[in-house]
Structure 1
Amino acid sequence: MDTQTGRQDAAEHFDFLIIGAGISGIGAAWHLRRRFPASRFAVLDAMDGFGGTWWTHRYPGARSDSDLYTYGYGFKPWRGRSIATAEEIRRYLGEVIEENELAPHIRYGHKVTAADWSSQQRRWTLEVARKAAGDTVTITAGMLWMCSGYYDHGKGHTPQWPGMQDFKGQVVHPQHWPQDLDCTGKRVVVIGSGATAATLIPALADDAAHVTMLQRSPTFFSAEPWSHPLEAPLRALDLPEDWMHEILRRAHIAKSAEVVRMSFEQPEDLRQFLLEQARSRLPGDFDVDKHFNPRYRPWQQRVAVVPDGDLFTAIGGGKASVVTDTIECFDDTGIRLSSGEHLDADIVVTATGFNMRFFGGVPFRVDGAPVDFTQRVTYRGLMIEGVPNMVYTLGYFRASWTLRSDLVCDLVCRVIAHMRQHGLTMVEPALRASDAGMPRLPWMDATNFNAGYVMRAQHHLFRQGDRAPWTHQMEYAEERSILPAVQPDDEALRYR
């Protein structure tokens, strides 16, 4: 070890390095271990444990917003309710790690701070800060698999309002929830109305004096059962677990596909269905159109799930309320709204979303040149034009993340197998002659999906083209047949 620089003398080398030990990284590790058992690989994660989002999100009531029969892996049956708590999901991921002996391959507290590709050496060189040792080491790899998702786990998104410094109470972001925070008997204002707010409010309502959901504009909510209606009758048949998993997985996929279809083809019918769900669970004098009828079409932003309508139950029971207004300023006792109304608060929760950060915020270089991702397009939502031997996993917005993760893992492993079969050491997506002059479009088309966290981040995200294979963010109904049909000798992939 060089004591002056804190760097090791010889770099440790792996065939594959996976960055991120969340649901994507654990899934990638399972696939690599199964398909290439003789290869050396490691999983690096900056945090102190596995789970990614499920490690970070420890606020009251934290749970899935997708059903676990599709959010769980295709290779491991889910055995619980369709909607699961964060603790249940972490337990499931822990079982995958234990059952497949992945723990020796995972290194926690390892934060990648730089990634450099050398075409001459055919390898990535990573600078990695080790939390426990307090030093920096160099690790090299033949292929890099980015599974860090798109959350900035270090800092949630919190707007700055006038007067926040004058507030005498406590301001908390759900992503950084203090484990000793006691809301019992407190007046709580939750700013925001997305999936996190919809989770928090029912969890806090029983003990808090009152919980107010303060939203600038409405969100669509869907009241879904904790368990699929088919689950109880199927369990009565004493079916094998893998049968149960597959049947319920298909049932959830079919339902999700129908909702997505309606969001494009019959958006007003879907709107009325969601509004009627709310009306049937709320008092007759509640203004559903004001508080739960967004300007955008359903699924142009996420439809937040409320298990068994628990959010509506809290509101109907008087333990929670909804205010649709904008913030003028904070003062020492709460929040003053543009309408003149004042919300008294002891605790303010800023459930105002997160910041997007792809590839863990790692600076990349290829043959000494910094990579400006905003000038490059994606290849099928899993590789980047001109960046060799680097793949990444991103899931769906309208379907479970892991449905796409499984598809990406299959295609990546087929590409690796192709390289090994033909003695190839380098692969990168490259534009074809027919792609000359192709426009470089934003990462996301706002008419397709325009959530605030996406729109805020567009300027520093990579791009997409106007044709295959340079597009992404398709629906599962399309990609479940498209990605398995992609051949590793695709003309847009250049091998050496």
Structure 2
Amino acid sequence: MACHLQQQSGRGLFRRSSPKKRKSIKQNTIQRFLVLEKRADLGGTWDLFNYPGVRSDSDALTFGYGFRPWLSHKMLAKGVDIKSYIADTAREFKVTEHIRYQHEMQQLSWSSATQQWTAMIKNHNNGEVLTLTANFVVGATGYYDYDTGYKPHFEGEEQFKGNIVHPQHWKNVAYDDKKVVVIGSGATAMTLLPALVDESSEQCARHVTMLQRSPTYVASVPGDDYALDWLSGKFSPLSKRQAYSLLRTRNVMFQQGVYQLATHAPKVMKAFLNHGVKKNLKGSGVDVGHFAPSYNPWDERLCAVPDSDLFLALQGKRAEVVTDKISHFTETGIALVSGKHIEADIIVTATGLKLQMLGGAALYIDGQQVDVGARMTYKAVLLEGVPNIALMFGYTNASWTLKIDLACQYVVRLLDYMDKHNYKTVCSQAQTEQEQVQVRPDTVLGALSAGYVSRAKDELPKQGDRYPWYVTHNYVSDRIMLKYRKIKDDWLHFSR
């Protein structure tokens, strides 16, 4: 639970009691654990991002927890609603009492002599540095830097007399009746554009330009789904939980089907997406080429927009999309390579994330620093050659939470197995007497080639050349691997 609820910015530390005092996890008893959270509140991404329109880009039925139904009919849920859902879940399962806020783990050291982790932690409440020991650590930090977003340097940006803001640091930005340029073509930019020109909100920009260097695939999806109410209604034999499980399975299968279609029949998927764009922009005069990338679908993450809100905004007078390269910033806007100039009062750099592991904490084994980016992961959960640590990774081709659900269940199974057999340590090794896993060069997080992933290839764990040392991004096979396959195999080394 600790790792699950804090999947984006928490630091999960499990501290286990003696064998005489502890009971089996299967008996629904919780061993001693602590969650370290650098921020002042829980929620991770949904506590950090406050830009207009911030929402999920995955459907809420699969983005929600498998053990606690998402009951709202909104599918691409608002950030504030997601945070409330996380907070309510934490309170319901009594996780909040185990969280220490504003505690940043700066260093994590394993001692082979004591067979324990020692965490050096800074308490931002009072500035003190303290240490805690733990038998098992869950790195539930997500994979991006919460302090700094990615923003390339643009020539002449010092000349610009307006405001430059990164969505990660959006706070009380006054954009009413302003000319805004949003640099980027990802989910953040596509969320910002319709929100900034929404005339029903408290603020409304005079004009917004989404300036992209290259196009991104976009698909419109229904903003609401009332199937949960229908399936669990007055005359239905299904409970809310049963209906939720059924619909969650439906959405998982649909997501996986779309991804497999894009992988094995990219031309068909490309034609389908292009048809959707043409349909949404018919008669608007907007060039459909702005949404026709040169790469295949799912080489980079596909963007979903609710009820065609992006396309509807582009049909109005307040918004446009421009595909061009930036030459330099000027005092009043942005000069493009094509020779055009875009006027701006505010420039929003929706240019992506800066990735890091373990929230930036340094990792050591017996005094030797471990380069996480040089290691592989076993079942995309355990770090090669590092004892008693799990790293939580979500999907990039589906809801992040789906994989976290499975990974957390695997960690619980692993701890239960260690308790049952009185093991104190577990360590994954990429070599057996018969096999030696090789690193697949230049591969991280599966096949996704997004810019933010490519930039961080030295920070993220590597992929192996065989099962179970590579990321499949396949929920069905991962479910079998993490929930049902036996714990002990030739790759895991246990000791007492």
Q: Considering the TM-score relative to the shorter chain, is it more than 0.5? A: yes
CA deviation vs aligned residue, 1:161-188 (integer Å, no higher than 9, x gap): 111000000000000002x212110000
Following superposition, the deviation at residue 202 of structure 1 comes to: 0.7
For residues 427-459 of structure 1, the C-alpha deviation after alignment (integer angstroms, 9 at most, x for no partner) is: 10012123337345334288x210000111112
Instruction: For residue 117 of structure 1, give the secondary structure of its aligned residue in structure 2.
Output: strand
Aligned to 1:213: 210
With over 3 angstroms needed to count, the CA separation of the structure-2 counterparts of 1:18 and 1:445, relative to structure 1, is closer
* Cα deviation digits, residues 41-88 of structure 1 (max 9, x gap): 000011111011111111111101011111111100110122210111
- Give the direction of change, closer, same or farther, for the CA distance of 1:445–1:155 in structure 2 (3 Å limit): closer
Q: Secondary structure at the match of 2:65?
A: coil
Pick from 78, 88, 111 the counterpart of residue 81 of structure 2: 88
Deviates most, 208-217 or 354-363: 354-363
CA–CA distance in 1 between the matches of 2:441 and 2:358? Answer: 20
**Number of the residue aligned with 1:441:** 441
Q: Report the aligned-residue RMSD.
A: 2.3
Q: Which runs of 5+ in 2 are unaligned?
A: 15-23, 199-203
- Looking at structure 1, the residues matched to 118 and 11 of structure 2 have their Cα atoms a distance apart, in angstroms, of 22
Task: Give 1:340 deviation, angstroms.
Answer: 0.4
Deviation at 1:229, TM superposition (A): 6.3
SS in 2 for 1:153: coil
Cα distance in 1, alignment partners of residues 382 and 75 from structure 2: 32
What is aligned with 2:144?
A: 151
Q: Partner residue of 1:230?
A: 227
Q: Secondary structure at the match of 2:260?
A: helix
- Is 1:407–2:406 an aligned residue pair? yes
Q: In the superposition, relative to structure 1, how do residues 250 and 41 fare at CA in structure 2: closer, same or farther (>3 Å)? A: same
Aligned to 2:316: 317
| Aligned mate of 1:126, from 104, 115, 119 | 119
2 CA distance for matches of 1:26 and 1:247? 32
| Aligned twin of 1:432 | 432
Residues 1:406 and 1:19: Cα distance change in structure 2 (over 3 Å): closer
**8 A contact 1:19–1:148 mirrored in 2:** no
- The alignment partner of 1:494 has SS state of strand
Matched position secondary structure for 2:146: strand
- Given that 1:21 and 1:44 are in contact with CA atoms closer than 8 Å, whether structure 2 keeps it comes out as no
Tell me what 1:48 maps to.
Answer: 40
CA deviations over 1:387-419 (Å, ceiling 9, x no partner) = 000011101011111111111111111111111
1:287-322 CA deviation, whole Å, 9 max, x = no partner?
A: 544200011111111111110010000001222100
SS at match of 1:489: coil
2:18 aligns with none
Q: Which amino acid aligns with 2:205?
A: A
Relative distance call for 1:104 and 1:156 in structure 2 (3 A) is same
Distance verdict in 2 for CA 1:414–1:236, change over 3 Å: closer
**Equivalent-residue separation in structure 2 for 1:99 and 1:453 (angstroms):** 35
Partner residue in 2 for 1:11: none
Q: 1:27 touches 1:405 (CA, 8 Å); kept in 2?
A: no
Task: Call closer, same or farther: CA 1:17–1:187 in 2, change over 3 Å.
Answer: closer
After TM superposition, give the deviation of residue 208 of structure 1 in Å.
0.6
What TM-score, normalized to structure 1?
Answer: 0.91
CA contact (8 A) 1:167 1:332 kept: yes
Change (3 A) 1:24 1:418: farther
Distance 2:105 2:90 in 1: 22
Q: Is the 8 A contact 1:19 1:145 kept in 2?
A: no
Letter of the structure 2 residue corresponding to residue 278 of structure 1:
V
> Over residues 121-178 of structure 1, what are the superposed CA-to-partner deviations in whole Å (9 max), with x where a residue is unaligned?
1110000000111110001100000000011111001111111000000000000002
Kindly provide the amino acid, as one letter, of the partner of residue 489 in structure 1: K
Instruction: Check the 8 A contact 2:5/2:90 in 1, yes or no.
Output: no
C-alpha contact (below 8 Å) 2:4/2:405 kept by paired residues: no
Residue 20 of structure 2 is matched in structure 1 by: none
- Aligned counterpart in structure 2 of residue 183 of structure 1, from 164, 168, 175: 175
Percent identity reads 39
Match of 1:258 in 2: 257
The alpha-carbon distance between structure 1 residues 375 and 141, as it changes in their structure 2 partners (threshold 3 A), is same
User: Structure 2 counterpart of 1:129, which letter?
Assistant: K
Compared CA separation, residues 45 and 24, structure 1 to 2 (3 A): closer
**Is 1:136 matched with 2:136?**
no
Query: C-alpha distance in 1, partners of 2:250/2:401?
Result: 16
3-state SS of 2:121 partner: strand
Aligned: 1:39 with 2:31:
yes
Which residue of structure 2 aligns with residue 13 of structure 1? Answer: none
SS of the counterpart of 1:343? strand
Are the counterparts in 2 of residues 112 and 128 from structure 1 also a CA contact under 8 Å? Answer: yes
Equivalent residue number for residue 62 of structure 1 = 54
Letter paired with 1:153: Y
The residue identity in structure 2 corresponding to 1:357 is Q
Q: Tell me what 1:4 maps to.
A: none
Please report how far the alpha carbon of residue 487 of structure 1 lies from its aligned counterpart in structure 2 after TM superposition: 1.5
Residues 413-492 of structure 1: matches in 2 within 5 Å? 413-430=412-429, 431-436=431-436, 438-444=438-444, 448-492=447-491
Pair 1:106 & 2:107 matched: no
Mapped to 1, the partners of 2:121 and 2:144 lie a distance apart of 20
Equivalent-residue separation in structure 2 for 1:91 and 1:479 (angstroms): 29
- Indicate if the aligned counterparts of 2:180 and 2:207 stay in contact, CA closer than 8 A: yes
For residues 380 and 165 of structure 1, the distance between their equivalents in structure 2, rounded to whole angstroms, comes to 46
Distance 1:322 1:55, change over 3 A: same
Residue matched to 1:195: 187
Question: Structure 1 229/256 Cα, relative in aligned 2: closer, same or farther at 3 Å?
Answer: farther
Counterpart contact for 2:301–2:396, Cα < 8 Å: yes
Match of 1:340 in 2: 339
SS of structure 1 residue aligned to 2:132: strand
Deviates more, 1:42-51 or 1:454-463: 454-463
**What corresponds to 1:21 in structure 2?**
6
TM-score normalized with structure 2 length: 0.91
